[in-house]
Chains A and B, each alone.
Chain A
Amino acid sequence: MNASYEWLREFTDFDLTPEQLRDVITSRAATVEEVISLRADLRDVVVGLVVEARPHPNSDHLWVTKVDAGMGELLDVVCGAPNVQAGSKYPFAPSGSTLPGGLKLERRKIRGETSNGMLCSARELALGTEHDGILTLHTDAAPGTPFLDAFPAGDTRFVVDVLPNRPDLLSHEGLAREISAYTGNDLHMPEHPGMSAAPAFEHGTSDGSTGGVRVSIDEPSACPLYTATVIRGVRIEQSPEWLANRLISIGLRPINNVVDATNYMLHGFGQPMHAFDLDRLRGPEIHVRNARPGERITTLDGVERKLDPTMTVIADADRAQAIAGVIGGSESAVSDATSNILLEVAVFDPRSVRSTRRALGTSTDASYRFERALDAHASAELARYAAALIISLAGGRVDGAPIAVGSPGPSPHQLSLRVSRVAKILGEHVSAPECMRLLGSVGFGVNSGENEMLRVTPPRWRSDVALEVDLIEEVARLRGYDSFSDQLRPFRVGSAPDSPAYVVTRRVTRALVEAGMMEVRPIPFVADAGEHGVRVLNPLAESEALLRTSALQTLARRVEHNFAHMTRNVRLFEVGVVFSRGPDDRIPVERTVTAAVISGDRSPAHFTDPRPAQMDIWDAKWIAETIVRSAFGQSGQSGPELQPNAARDGWDVVHDGSTIGTVGPIPVDAPVWAPPVFGIEIDLTAAFGIVPEPVVYRPLPVTPAAEFDLALLVPADVVAADVARVIRTNSGEMLESLVPFDEFRGAGVGDGYRSIAWRLTFRHPERTLRDKEIEGRRARILRALNEELGVRPRTT
């Protein structure tokens, strides 16, 4: 909603600067998002005091003056105005500034005398046509004060963010009502020259006629009230300056006196109106009816629109002439040739207007207000006012008694307001008399009932107020939110535990960050999600019409994005949601997963190591183990396992017999220089609720360890895990650690074999192990390996 400072003053007096007015409206009613001075072109002009004026030595009509413009030194200025006088103040545009119309002032010599700017006339400042001389300012403002602060030049526009609950603020009258509640000054109808009262209305139920036009409402549910006023003998002309300025001040373009008058009514009072050229209406008749299948209309904006029977139109005897509550038709629009008009002031059903404008894909100032419901009880009175305004602007006379068909509907219900409930919600006691005063200031009718209970009747324009709590909000905002305390009071703490999804997400996030990974939060839409994908019914684009079934799919695209920017070292992870079709095809199944991708160097290059090793599947395995450990806890006994999956050169993450994740190389669209990319994705759902086992201290050993290495020849079909298992079973309790520290294929190792070197560390908790004990174990292990797996020690 755009509002003009001057327009608001038509409705109520106030002594507030635009900035003060902004704060009043913002703190009490609706947020003013912007305050725009409409004379920004005068922003360079300041108040200048002429200290000295003497005749120009080389001219008989010029003056050479010294001007104080608040710059700390007097400026030489040449002036040609006869009325320049030492000791007076004038608007001064210093050199370097730009005047309205685009003239840029430079320092220059005029007949040999330097001039550092210009003392300005009203015309030069585009403040009027007078050019008898420069504009004398009768002001106390100090030299150098911005001209606009000292002289009431130009209007100010307020851009107000009116929220859906306050349609009453979508007009100057509505905003002025809030201002008047603040200042205490009264709210009144604007007065314009030449206005005299128009005739009163006759009322009909569903049809009637006025000035020779028959009016009928076929669809009362879509149009509860329709008023028509016939005015004959109008002259279509340009609007007078005051009216044109009102519309320009809120960003509208003046068109002609009749159309401008209807726009003035819309923005002044919030009531949309439409004027038809009566001679273009066949019949002449007005029917409020549903559009016919396939019916078409060319609207005021020049667009031909196809209508359907869900839409309501205003039609003549033949065809649609306007789309109800949205936009008029061009055929019957007021033009220069118009001499008789029918002024429509109606109330259309909010839902019906809403569905029509959505179907048409167009929103207008009118539809915006109808959708939010307006004060139907004011419509007939406003129609009278508008008729008087139009006649004052365009002449003519009302033909016959104007007619109002239908009814404005019920008035708002009376509500009860408990003073105790006000205190309960707001936290501070607001007395009954204060509640009455506050509500009364914006038009609520308030009677005091028994037991601190108030009976409140909302004003007709506040259909949003329907509950006690709505009244409490009114009390709070009118008293001022800032008037309430902000001291913390005692409270009870929340007892619900943290959400398990959040707890696991945090554990995994912290662990992966420690592992050097970068967290990302990408958009989860994809172009293709396989047979289980969930489709957005109204997607932004077909390329992002589906919700992902895998987070790795998203991260693969992010890797490509990094490669495209020549970044080869990539380590990204995300903890997010994936979606798949639900059993009833309605609510999707959501699972929280973590996905990670790694590619490139294992460590930053350094001059001591210019080509660091590249990450490979073993790094991926570590990331996967990090995720599993952080999500499921340290024990590892009941947690998921990484099971080799030769088909993917990686692993499946298996938990309780089902696969919850994958680890391995992933395909990406990569440039030739790109290193291989590895991906990990693990479903975290099974970890929800798992509390990691507490870590228990084990005394650090005081006895020495005994180590020995085994170089083993392992047949191709035997895996390291089997070798490790056999070693463990035959080592006894004193085996402290078992690490395969080298793997080798080739020379010296027979075909079908590889050599794996293991380091075994034994320790007795209380004493030093004897060589004999170690030797015995080595022999037992080698025997078992040979018998069970065909694994033999490697002899050089």
Chain B
Amino acid sequence: MNELTLQAFEHFVGRFGTEVDTRLREARTAEDVEAIRVEYLGRANGKLTDYQKQIPTFSGEERKLAGQQFNAVKKLIEGRLAETLTELSRVTRLSVPDVDLTMPSRSQFRGAEHPVTVVIEEIVEIFREIGFTVATGPEAETEWYNFTALNFPPDHPAMDMHDTMYLAEDVVLRTHTSPVQIRSLQAGPPPIRVVIPGNVYRLDPFDASHAPMFAQIEGLAVDEGISFVDLKATLTHFATRFFGATRTRFRPSYFPFTEPSAEMDVECRLCKGSGCPACKGTGWMEILGSGMVHPNVLDAAGVDSEKYTGWAFGMGPARIALQRYGIPDIRVLYDSEMRFLGQVAR
């Protein structure tokens, strides 16, 4: 072996420490460990032992440092060899017949978000990526916010779509999250890009498919130059992200607060569009309602409807949760049973 600089000596010797450590991880028996010991620390031709012979080639302070480095590494290797032997003997001890390793693990209680919250959060996340923030508002609203400002004609059949719970003559439990659209429009000048999750109330008897309170999430985008193309593009993007690659369809609909109004369907995932009982043979699943914000709504909120345009959408996360988990009865979502919550916890 050539004479080395102290730096090189320390480098090579130090490297054996990590090398042995790596090798020992693969050792399965005491024999493996012994072979590694001989390879590095063997009296004759041990890899580390060979370097001991280099120490005398240094002089003075360097010789002392080289010796220290050598001993430190040797001690480290010896320690790891001993530890490994102990570990291996412990494994052996565990294998004795009176420990039955087929017994169950020791678990912890887990927590989980409600399935409807999970769906809402997934939706919020997708819209966040494209510049939306989250807005909320009160659940008890005046009729003005809930209906009038949203262009509901008074005493019109359109009102029949909202069976309303009243708290006072002109105060209602909001029938949709759309009042928050008005509040967001009032709060600041466009650009407005918000998603609005929240609970809404309808005077519907509690049965397998109706609940008097349920979650809704809607979105609103208002700025100069926003159009029906933006509505289609953004909601198609959402459908692609949320439901995976799938076809969408937009068809005419009616909401007092949007015009043109459109319902968005995605291809039925059960039948891939060929028609099945789940989609009533149409091949499509209804996902959300949407439309261009009606100029009367912008005007009611004090936004110039000639200058600004916008679009909005709304959907029911509970329905998505029911579909996703195959739950046949919506009341399951309200029962608050540990058995159910544990079942759907992620």
Residues of A within 8 A of B156 (CB): 164
Scan A521-555; emit 1 where CB is below 8 A from any B CB, else 0. Answer: 11111000000001111111000100100000001
CB-nearest residue of chain A relative to B213? A523
CB < 8 Å: which of A354, A427, A539, A570 contacts B338?
A570
Contact A497 to B133, CB < 8 A, known contacts A492-B191, A536-B165: yes
In contact, B111 and A514 (Cβ under 8 angstroms):
yes
Binds B, one of A320-328, A483-491, A674-682: A483-491
CB-nearest residue of chain B relative to A519? B114
Contact A523 to B227, CB < 8 A, known contacts A477-B260, A518-B345: no
> B91 at interface (Cβ–Cβ under 8 A)?
no
Residues of A within 8 A of B199 (CB): 521, 576-577
In contact, A590 and B211 (Cβ under 8 angstroms):
no
Residues of B within 8 A of A538 (CB): 165-166, 203
In contact, A540 and B336 (Cβ under 8 angstroms):
no
CB < 8 Å: which of A355, A496, A579 contacts B194?
A496
CB < 8 Å: which of A29, A487, A562 contacts B252?
A29
> B342 at interface (Cβ–Cβ under 8 A)?
yes
Binds B, one of A187-195, A208-216, A601-609, A701-709: A601-609
CB < 8 Å: which of B161, B188, B249, B334 contacts A482?
B249
> What CA separation (Å) do A87 and B252 show in the bound complex?
49
> A28 at interface (Cβ–Cβ under 8 A)?
yes
Residues of A within 8 A of B236 (CB): 486
CB < 8 Å: which of B113, B204, B234, B251 contacts A513?
B113
Residues of B within 8 A of A496 (CB): 133, 135, 184, 187-188, 192, 194
Residues 199-250 of B at the A interface (beta carbon under 8 Å): 199, 203-206, 211-213, 215, 221, 223, 225-230, 232-234, 236-237, 248-250
In contact, B223 and A492 (Cβ under 8 angstroms):
yes
Contact A561 to B117, CB < 8 A, known contacts A493-B191, A577-B199: no
Residues 285-309 of B at the A interface (beta carbon under 8 Å): 292, 294-295, 309
Residues 467-487 of A at the B interface (beta carbon under 8 Å): 467, 469-470, 472-473, 476-477, 481-482, 484-487
Binds B, one of A30-38, A73-81, A249-257: A30-38
Residues of A within 8 A of B248 (CB): 486
Residues of B within 8 A of A372 (CB): 157
> What CA separation (Å) do A518 and B249 show in the bound complex?
37
Contact A164 to B160, CB < 8 A, known contacts A484-B228, A590-B140: yes
Binds A, one of B13-21, B76-84, B102-110: B102-110
Q: How far is the CB of B321 from chain A (nearest CB, A)?
A: 10
In contact, B166 and A537 (Cβ under 8 angstroms):
yes
Contact A484 to B229, CB < 8 A, known contacts A30-B252, A494-B131: yes
In contact, A470 and B228 (Cβ under 8 angstroms):
no
In contact, B338 and A572 (Cβ under 8 angstroms):
yes
> B36 at interface (Cβ–Cβ under 8 A)?
no
In contact, B212 and A481 (Cβ under 8 angstroms):
no
In contact, A521 and B166 (Cβ under 8 angstroms):
no
Residues of B within 8 A of A267 (CB): none
In contact, A494 and B192 (Cβ under 8 angstroms):
yes
Binds A, one of B24-32, B49-57, B63-71, B167-175: B167-175
Q: How far is the CB of B233 from chain A (nearest CB, A)?
A: 4
CB < 8 Å: which of A427, A518, A534, A561 contacts B229?
A427
> What CA separation (Å) do A494 and B185 show in the bound complex?
12
> B136 at interface (Cβ–Cβ under 8 A)?
yes
In contact, A477 and B252 (Cβ under 8 angstroms):
yes
In contact, A586 and B171 (Cβ under 8 angstroms):
yes
CB-nearest residue of chain B relative to A555? B336
Contact A425 to B157, CB < 8 A, known contacts A30-B252, A536-B166, A572-B336: no
> What CA separation (Å) do A467 and B292 show in the bound complex?
14
The dominant DSSP class at the B interface is mixed
Scan B174-197; emit 1 where CB is below 8 A from any A CB, else 0. Answer: 000000000010011001111001
Q: How large is the interface on B (under 10, 10 to 19, 20 to 34, 35 or more residues)?
A: 35 or more
Residues 253-301 of B at the A interface (beta carbon under 8 Å): 253-254, 259-263, 280-282, 292, 294-295
> A565 at interface (Cβ–Cβ under 8 A)?
yes
Contact A521 to B338, CB < 8 A, known contacts A427-B230, A513-B111, A537-B168: no
In contact, A522 and B334 (Cβ under 8 angstroms):
yes
Residues of B within 8 A of A513 (CB): 111-113
Residues of A within 8 A of B9 (CB): none
Residues 506-526 of A at the B interface (beta carbon under 8 Å): 509, 512-525
> B98 at interface (Cβ–Cβ under 8 A)?
no
> A499 at interface (Cβ–Cβ under 8 A)?
yes
CB-nearest residue of chain B relative to A606? B106
In contact, B111 and A481 (Cβ under 8 angstroms):
no
Q: How far is the CB of B306 from chain A (nearest CB, A)?
A: 9
Q: How far is the CB of B335 from chain A (nearest CB, A)?
A: 6
Q: How far is the CB of A204 from chain B (nearest CB, A)?
A: 30
CB-nearest residue of chain A relative to B253? A163
> A165 at interface (Cβ–Cβ under 8 A)?
yes
In contact, B132 and A523 (Cβ under 8 angstroms):
no
Contact A519 to B338, CB < 8 A, known contacts A577-B199, A590-B139: no
Q: List 26 A-B contacts (CB under 8 A).
A: A28-B252, A31-B253, A33-B280, A163-B254, A425-B309, A427-B228, A428-B229, A481-B260, A484-B232, A486-B233, A494-B193, A495-B191, A496-B133, A496-B187, A502-B134, A513-B112, A520-B341, A534-B140, A540-B204, A555-B336, A561-B337, A565-B339, A572-B336, A572-B338, A603-B109, A609-B106
* Given A164-B160, A354-B157, A544-B212, 8 additional A-B pairs, CB 8 A: A427-B229, A489-B229, A491-B230, A494-B132, A495-B191, A496-B187, A558-B335, A608-B106
